[in-house]
Chains A and B, each alone.
Chain A
C-alpha cells in the first residue's frame, strides 16, 4: 500500500511517516490548528497510541521519560500558539539532557503567517536556540522529508529535540505519498571520524597511569556502550563514578563503581578527582554542578575526554587528549591497546572516604534515631529495597531528586529519569508517565517534592485515564526544600518564600481515583510500602518527612570540589 503513489492528505502523510519511523506512541493535546491531524489520528488509533496529557509541558516531559527508558525518540503533538509555547520548558530540558524528541506543533495556515493570526506564534524563532533543528512545514510535499529528517537528527550523534511546525494548509492539502528515509545530511556529521592517534595516545596515558579514574556520563547510556565500558574498566582496573545522568550505566553494586559525582555526590569520587593522575571522562560535559570551581578541578591530572560532540571538548575543562567518536566504538578501540593492570591500592584508598561519608551522612540518613522524624533518605532506601533492582527511578527536582538519585539502587541501565541540566521542577510526574509507557514491564517509582508535584499535578488525570501502574512517592517537607537548604546555609536562615501551605495530597490522589496514603512514622511507612508494591495499580505514598532536612554531602556552588560540607553539627 505505502509504496503506490496515491494521493492522501498531509495529515495522513504525517502519520504514515511517523509509523514508518517506528513511532507507536504520541503524547499530545489537541487544538484548533491540529484538528485535521487529530481527525486523521482517529483512523490510526490502532497503530498510534495517543496519550492525552493535561498540559502540553506534560506531553514533552512524558516524551522525554519515554525516550530515556526506551532509547526511542519521544513524540509530542500540540496545537499552535499557547500549545506550542507550553512545550518550551520540555524542549529546553531535552536539549540540555541530550534526549531524543520530536515535537510537532500546529501552525496557522501559511497564508496567514506573520499576520498575528489567532493563535499564531513564531515557534521556529522561539525554538531555534533550544533545538537541534526546527523546521516549518508549509507544503504537503515537505512532510515526508521533514519528518524523516527530524527523526534522523533527533536520534543520531548527540541526541536532542527537534521541532516541526506544521501549517494547517499543509495538513489538509493532498500529496502523493512515498516514504523515503533520510539517513544522511551533507552538512551534518553525527559521529566524528575516529582518530587512531588519539586512541593510541589515550591508551598510552592510561597504561602509564598509577591512579586512573573514570567519569561516566550519559553518553555511555546513549551510545549503548555499557558492556564496552565494563571491558575497559576491567582490563585496566579503573575505578569509576557517574554523573547524575550517567547513573545506572553501572549497577550500584559493581566493584569498580565508586558512586556519584558532583555537588551532592559521594565524598570519595569528588576527592579522588583531585588525587588521580589520569582523569578519563566518558560522554559527560563537565557541568559546573559536577566540577565545582574549575580553578581547583583536577589540576594535577592529565585529562582524557571521550565525547561524540566536538564542541564539548575544552568547553569547560582543558583536555589533554580528546577522543572523539561514539563511545561504543572508541572505548573498545582504546581497550584493545590497554595493558591489563591492577590498581589494588588505589582502589582501596576510596574506602576511608566512603567510610567517613557513611558515618557522617548516610547512616544518619537511612538509620535515623527513633526520636527523629522520617528522613527522605530512609524513605528512598526502603523503597529502593522493596522495588527490586529492575525498577526505574524518576525524580522531580530539589532535595527529593538528590535523595532519590543518592539512595536508589540500580540494577540495570536506563533506570534513571531526571532533569539534570535544566533542573526542571514539574518534570517528575509527566516523565514518570512516559517512563511507564516506555517500559511497561518495569516498576516505575517517582520521587517528587510537595513543590514540584504541584507544578504538573494535573497529570494525575492522565494516570487515571491510562490506568498506569505508577508508584508515586511524595517527599513532603512542607518546604521548597532545596531552596530552604541554601537559605539555611548561606542566607542566615531567612526563609524567604519557601514555606508552603499544602493541600491534602491524599485527598487529591483519591479524587483522581489513585489509592493514596499519608504516613508520618516508620511503622506506617513500612505498611504503606508493602501495600504500594502489593497492588498492580497506581499508588501515591505521601511521606511527611522532616521539614528542615538537609541534603549532604554538599559542595557549595562555586567552591572547590573537595570543599565538602557534611553537616555533622546538625541532626544532633
Chain B
C-alpha cells in the first residue's frame, strides 16, 4: 500500500447535484475525502472543486477518469503536493481575558503570521492560513497555553505551480470542437 495525499481538481458546469455525483465515485472506491472546497471559478458559470484524499496512484488515475466521464464535468485531474501551491485557512476563538494576560502574544502572532479578525469583551478570533501542519501547530500551541474555545479549518485551495490553468482556452477548444 503506497498511499499519498492527492489533490483532485475538478471544473464543472454549475448544475444541481454535481457534488453528489463526485462524492459517490469516491465512496464506491472507499476513498475518504480529507478536505473539500467548492467555489465559483474565474469563469462565470463554472465551478471548481478541490478535493484532497489519501490514495494509491493507480486508484487516483481510475477515479479521476470516472469523474471526468460525468457529463457535466469539464475537466478533472490530480496533483501531488510538489506540483501545488496550496493553503488552508483556520480560525481560532480564544478567551479575551486569557489572551490579554498571555505572555508573548505578539511574538506568537508574528511567528505564525496570524491575524486578529475580531476582538470583543468575550472573545478574540485569530485567523491563520497555511498548510495543515502550520495551522495545526498554532492550534496545539494555543491549546496548551490558554486553550482554544473553538477551532475551524477550511478545505484546501490549490493552484498548480507548473502551468497556468488555461481553463478559458480549454473551454474555447471544447466549444470549437462541439460546434465544429
Q: Tell me the count of chain B residues lying within 8 A, CB to CB, of chain A.
A: 24
* Residue interface bits A500-520, CB-to-B below 8 A is 1, else 0: 000000000000000000000
Binds B, one of A121-129, A240-248, A283-291: A121-129
CA distance A185 to B20 in the complex (A): 20
Residues of A within 8 A of B66 (CB): 311
CA A134 – CA B28 in complex, angstroms?
Answer: 19
A124–B179 touching, CB < 8 Å: no
Contact call B174/A311, Cβ cutoff below 8 A: no
A189 touches B74 (CB 8 A): no
Chain B residues with Cβ below 8 Å from A184 are 178-179
| Chain B 1-19 interface mask (CB, 8 Å, partner A; 1/0) | 0000000000011001100
Write the nearest CB–CB distance from A226 to chain B, whole angstroms: 26
How far is B73's CA from A184's CA once the two chains are assembled, in angstroms? Answer: 14
Let me know if A311 and B178 touch, CB within 8 A. Answer: no
Q: Is chain A's binding surface mostly helix, strand, loop or mixed? A: mixed
Asked if B13 contacts A311 (CB within 8 A), the reply is no
Query: In the bound complex, what is the Cα–Cα distance between A153 and B69 (angstroms)?
Result: 12
Known: A128-B21, A184-B178. A133 touches B71 (CB 8 A): yes
Chain B residues, CB < 8 A from A313: 65
B74 touching A186, Cβ below 8 Å: yes
Within 8 A of A (CB), among B141-180: 171, 174-175, 177-179
CA gap between A241 and B114 in the complex, in Å? 66
Tell me the bound Cα distance from A132 to B72 in angstroms. 10
How many whole Å from B28's CB to the nearest CB in chain A?
8
CA distance A314 to B62 in the complex (A): 8
A496 contacts B by Cβ under 8 Å: no
From B16, B20, B62, B72, A187 is in contact (CB under 8 Å) with B72
**Residue contacts A-B, CB under 8 angstroms, 7 given:** A124-B16, A128-B17, A133-B72, A186-B174, A187-B73, A189-B177, A310-B69
B residues adjacent to A (C-beta < 8 A): 12-13, 16-17, 20-21, 24, 28, 61-62, 65-66, 68-69, 71-74, 171, 174-175, 177-179
- Given A186-B74, A187-B74, A314-B61, 15 more A-B residue pairs with CB atoms under 8 Å apart are A128-B17, A128-B20, A128-B21, A128-B24, A129-B28, A132-B71, A184-B179, A186-B174, A187-B13, A187-B73, A188-B71, A188-B72, A189-B177, A310-B68, A311-B68
Where the two chains meet, the residues of A that have a C-beta atom closer than 8 Å to any C-beta of B are 124-125, 128-129, 132-134, 136, 153, 184-189, 309-311, 313-315
